[in-house]
């Protein structure tokens, strides 16, 4: 996975990250707006323009550097702001906002797999780029569904967690991206084999 990439492959991955993560965050914004919160719109994030949603360091440079040195990449975009007090359905509405991004990446991976089966099998170049597209979106989906604050999966867990666990999750979320790095470093021996297994399983399921 992401090994022996050529310069053109790296450029393709960069473009795929921009498109996929941009759509991921845009859907967060649209779902939030649909549920009654205008915060994303007020801050110019209710748009499909990926440049409004990506962060130069955490979305582009960090994962690209990790790929180049053959370390499991972390993909983190600029979080879409929202006010949970203005969202319909309380914690369940917030959970809908949270999982909408990863579900978008899963749908993109599925769409990519259909295109792969239509044209990818007849073109080595198309097959290579479509495989990268599916791989990146599968990783976006899996990584963001990890139920650790502030990742999207934590929103779903929070909606059903007991109050004591909710308080712990809120404390963790206060550290933001640092909490992701700490957990990633401390648990890489546990998390990465699981992520890798899930990625391979979904890849085989979608691309056959």
DSSP-derived secondary structure for 169-204: HHHHHTTTHHHHHHHHHHHHHHHHHHHHHHHHHHHH
Query: Given 25, 43, 173, 174, which residue is catalytic?
Result: 25
Residue 50 and residue 27 in contact, taking contact as beta carbons nearer than 8 Å: no
Tell me how far apart the terminal alpha carbons of the chain are, to the nearest angstrom: 16
Q: Measure the CA–CA gap between 107 and 109, rounded to whole angstroms.
A: 5
Closest CA to 145 of 178, 106, 111: 106
Torsion angle (degrees, nearest 10) of CA 117, 120, 124, 127: -90
Q: Measure the CA–CA gap between 127 and 149, rounded to whole angstroms.
A: 35
pTM across the whole model: 0.89
Torsion sign, CA atoms 104, 110, 116, 119: negative
Given the structure tokens 């203005």, which residue do they identify? 86
Length of the chain equals 208
Ranges of the chain with pLDDT below 70: 1-3, 72, 75, 186-188
Count Cβ atoms within 10 A of the Cβ of residue 97 and give its class: 0-12 exposed, 13-18 middle, 19 or more buried.
buried
Q: Determine the pLDDT at residue 135.
A: 93
Q: Print the SS3 string covering 48-69.
A: CCHHHCCCHHHHHHHHHHHHHC
Q: Determine the pLDDT at residue 77.
A: 77
25 catalytic? Reply is yes
Closest CA to 155 of 72, 93, 82: 93
Residue 81 and residue 40 in contact, taking contact as beta carbons nearer than 8 Å: yes
Q: Determine the pLDDT at residue 1.
A: 62
């Amino acid at each position: 996975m992401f090994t022996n990439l050529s310069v053109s492959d790296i450029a393709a991955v960069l473009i795929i990250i921009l498109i996929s993560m941009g759509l991921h965050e845009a859907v967060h914004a649209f779902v939030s707006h649909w549920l009654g919160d205008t915060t994303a719109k007020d801050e110019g994030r209710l748009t499909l323009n990926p440049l409004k949603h990506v962060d130069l360091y955490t979305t582009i440079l960090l994962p690209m550097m990790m790929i180049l040195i053959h370390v499991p990449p972390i993909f983190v975009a600029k979080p879409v702001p929202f006010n949970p007090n203005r969202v319909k359905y309380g914690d369940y509405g917030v959970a809908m906002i949270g999982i909408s991004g990863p579900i978008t990446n899963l749908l993109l991976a599925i769409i990519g797999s259909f295109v792969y089966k239509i044209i990818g099998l007849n073109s080595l170049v198309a097959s290579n780029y479509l495989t990268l597209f599916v791989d990146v979106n599968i990783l976006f989906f899996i990584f963001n569904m990890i139920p650790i604050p502030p990742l999207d999966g934590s929103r779903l867990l929070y909606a059903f967690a007991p109050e004591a666990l909710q308080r712990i999750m809120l404390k963790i979320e206060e550290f933001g991206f640092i909490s992701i790095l700490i957990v990633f470093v401390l648990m890489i021996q546990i998390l990465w084999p699981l992520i890798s297994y899930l990625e391979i399983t979904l890849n085989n399921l979608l691309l056959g």
